[in-house]
Chain A
Amino acid sequence: MKRNNIFRKLFQLTSNKPEFSLNADSFNPPHNRPADSGDETGECLTTSLAHNRKTLESIFGLPTNKDVVIRDFTITSLNKKALIIYIDGLSDRNAQNFAVLQPLMLLSRGHLETNEPIDIAYERLVPGQQVEKTKKLEDVINGILEGSSALLIDGSAEAMIIETKGWEHRGIDRPSNEPVVRGPQEGFNETFRANTASVRRYIKDPKLITEIMRVGTRSRTLLALMYIKDIANPALVKEVKRRIKSVSETTDYIAETGQLEEFIEDHPRSLMPQMLSTERPDRVAAHLREGYVAVMMANSPYALVLPTNFAIFLHAAEDYYLRWPFSNFLRFIRAISIFIALLLPSFYIAVVNYHQEMIPTDLMLAMTAAREAVPFPALVEILFMEFSFELIREAGVRVPSIIGPTIGIVGALILGQAAVSASIVSPILIIIIAITALASFVVPNYNATFTIRILRFLFIILAGFLGFFGVSFGVFLITLHIANLNSFGVPFLTPIAPYHPQNKDRVIRPRAYDQPKRPIFLRPLDWIRQRDISRPWDKPSSSSSDEGDDNYEE
């Protein structure tokens, strides 16, 4: 039984089940924090301002907690005591001063007599555009935590939540990890609403739905689920929601989409990225239009697009903005560089150690001569250099930008020049490492790069032990693995295997007007993306796409 478990664990890579490590029932009863505090102090507000103030003070830990500010004042026209409560730094001072305090204190002249002061304030006094009345303490707390100001008036059991959100944030910037030459140059940033709006700017369709949820019982981070209602498959949307909901109830803190990804992906033990994380609104929009679902979170400049397939290794945003011959050229370069980045060092090892006969004699003599002075076996040599390169790469990310150029000097001079002159590595190996490094930078997705970087070491070791046999073993193993992968029910190798003849955007990008069907593997509600003949003035071409897709099932 135990052995069986070990085996099962060893091969659990294959499991199809979504696994959530945290389970709501086995864990502490999950409760949202505000709801908790609401339970302690009563759900609703009272008519007494002093009492309400005391409640709020105890919830927010005043006066210890200096973030929360309470401003007491009197509403002139009503002659009532009132207060606004907000979080310093999350609220916009100007909005508070000119849209809340000034109208209430200075501009409301005359005398109004009423039993429901909050209604008067709502209807006449506060000019804010997004104002909400509530009796619930929980809403007040949530509103305050998000940067709104809550207005409480003596004698009223209701509060007004006035939208005064405004905090320091980064402006819209160029996408730093997915730059393109041709195409839109703006990326997401950390502002939630700016991100959702920038996607909507690409799709002006009322059917584009943005559902908002919160994840993390403590962080309560805002999360937006975007999809086009009459394209995206409802089952997919439901599944995504189910997983996110489960996470939101079970875990206390989710800061970023990268963290969420790990919680909701299908194969947490796999090396393959199973969601596309992108910082380009145009890319999200393009995917939404095909029936994908996007997940965005506040404070995260990366959106998740799911499900995904092998295209994550190959397709880039720019492919669709260039004319098809150009983008296909890039696709080929990319496809080749994936192989180089994965396999070139292991090929070198295999050839040097096992298959010397493969290379022409002259080249082999040159290589042997270069290796003559090197005291290490080729495997040690290449592991050493690959490791150094990974060091440069990681150091390049972490190094303070002021001393950034040092990395270049250390990397290029010491590791390249000096290592060769000291006969620690052979010059040919430096070339191999350099080409591999360049090729690994061509991979368009940051997560996918990691897969390739890690697998490269596996291949090097396999090649060191068994030559080409080991490398082919590795390739077959990886292929078996990715052929089995699923991302939200979509096989990783679609539309190649399982094969969908109608979706031709696999390795080669078909001409833009020649892709009438949406990705069928997503089972979209509406398959047709454009008319079969988008260029009616052309002569009918022979390449029609009326080939039946046999893999389609209702």
Chain B
Amino acid sequence: MPVDTSPPRDVRSLFPRLEALLPHVQKPIQYVGGELNSTVKDWDATDVRWALMYPDAYEVGVPNQGVMILYEVLNEQPDTLAERTYSVWPDMEALMREHGLPQFTVDAHRPVSAFDVLGLSFATELGYTNMLLALDLAGIPFNSADRTMDHPIVIAGGHSAFNPEPIADFIDCAVLGDGEQAVLEITDVIRAWKAEGRHGGRDELLMRLARTGGVYVPRFYDVDYLPDGRIQRVVPNRPGVPWRVSKHTVMDLDEWPYPKQPLVPLAESVHERMSVEIFRGCTRGCRFCQAGMITRPVRERSITGVGEMVERGLQATGFEEVGLLSLSSADHSEIAPMTKGLADRYEGTQTSLSLPSTRVDAFNIDLANELTRNGRRSGLTFAPEGGSERIRKVINKMVTEDDLIRTVTAAYSAGWRQVKLYFMCGLPTETDEDVLQIAELAKKVITTGREVTGSRDIRCTVSIGGFVPKPHTPFQWVGQLGHEATDARLAKLRDAVRSDRQFAKAIGFRYHDGKPGIVEGLLSRGDRRVGKVIKAVYDAGGRFDGWSEYFSFDRWMTAADQALADEPVDVDWYTTRDRDNNEVLPWDHLDSGLDRDWLWEDWQDALTGTEVDDCRWTPCFDCGVCPQMGTEIQAGPTGATLLPLTVLNSARDRVLSTADAE
């Protein structure tokens, strides 16, 4: 029997009270739970209970791989329980406040405040106000210092946790890196603490977690500031707390084939497909890319491991599309035999494959044809990121205009008519000229398409977003381009695309204004003083900041002016200011494995347009991760192949059996 020394709590289902509210809200199904492959466990048969939250709307959160993986890993443990909770929309929030209904999980509709842990996965900093909304509705004090033994431990994970300083006051802990093993280690610490009678209270539990070296407890560190506002130092304020906290790295993905039973919601979600992560990490070395920097080294799942996950997942879900996920999927050492093997296996079953991230130089037509053999032919998307050869060298994208033209030529020749290109605006050293080159590139793409197909029915969509410098990247020191300058540059590009009548109708242009990027920049590279701004924005009604219909730039700026009035810093200081090498950055005590000196050198290389090749096929360039973290590249090829599946038709035999017998 599990030992639970916590006081008894009312964990009866809130569903009867919720049910009365559901007829009055939009898309009520999102609050109902009961998704295929979801789990409801007996509360009393477990002793450590996690509420997992993706702090955005259900339709965005439910397909999130991170939450899905942790949900399954935790629920597989006999004495551990995990349920999910998502942000509620303002219509539901108003009703919950009116009727006194607290933040609930969708699995068993239990109050979030009754769990041992509230674990939040932050894919973007724009979810911070939604965390405050959940804490508020759950009845959990905003500040970790105000919480008691009656409240869950609030843990932040996800990429944003690599600089959790802006939310340091609101969270109890942050975990950097891969969560699969980390959640189990944390569960063990909590279980032991509870079994021993919860001696020492929250402080003792947080201390035990901090001592592992893999859990960051912000309150155990003091931050001192210089008179000019820069950080003087960040130091542990009690013995036994490590100076630096390390990220977690799962080394053998084949040992972690999660999710095995992906969730299938009834409600429509942003990803109507099943996803299999074919590798984790990326060493292409794009300097703007935080994901590539903080997830090193590359760890491939084997071709047979991928095959098993696809097979099991399709049987469990019935999805008709499988996304082969990673940061750059065509880079898997066995991508060709993998896609061919999967296309062979699922021939005639209307099952399509997709590679959500494909590099221009790694794409080829054989690959594309395998992807569309059994299903629908969607558009092709590539991300040259920068418009000019010069800027692509600055960001180390390592893709030339020739690469792009060669690839689109092949694609148009093979029957595609539509190509989508992603770019960024506001990259370091960028000028108007670099951005205007995007128009020239798009025109060349259209011209090429018209030549090789002999048709004028050719489209190219240019999507462009503002660049936000991120922690743990070579661009962590660079000043962000202001939103006015971003908007002015985008307007010039729009005019350049539209002015040429030869191309105006063939090129679609999608862009966002620069204001949300400034808020993202403030939250990405902010320090603990930014917490006051987040709280002020929440108090002023800020929620769902990732949604343009809810985001208010003015609300953020007003809140920042007021909250930072007594500080020597402001929004510009956090966003558009260049930092120099000796400034203490808010996240310097959080160890992503990257050597700070290497990051600085890479930043200097960027300024001279010096490119750095991928360490998978050239010698190590000493980014520092492998020696620091005790890891190494895990890549194939394994030489294995995917054999045809004989069991694929067993279910069909069942429905056909009687008819065949007749």
Chain B associates with chain A: no
Chain A residues within 8 Å of B, Cβ to Cβ: none
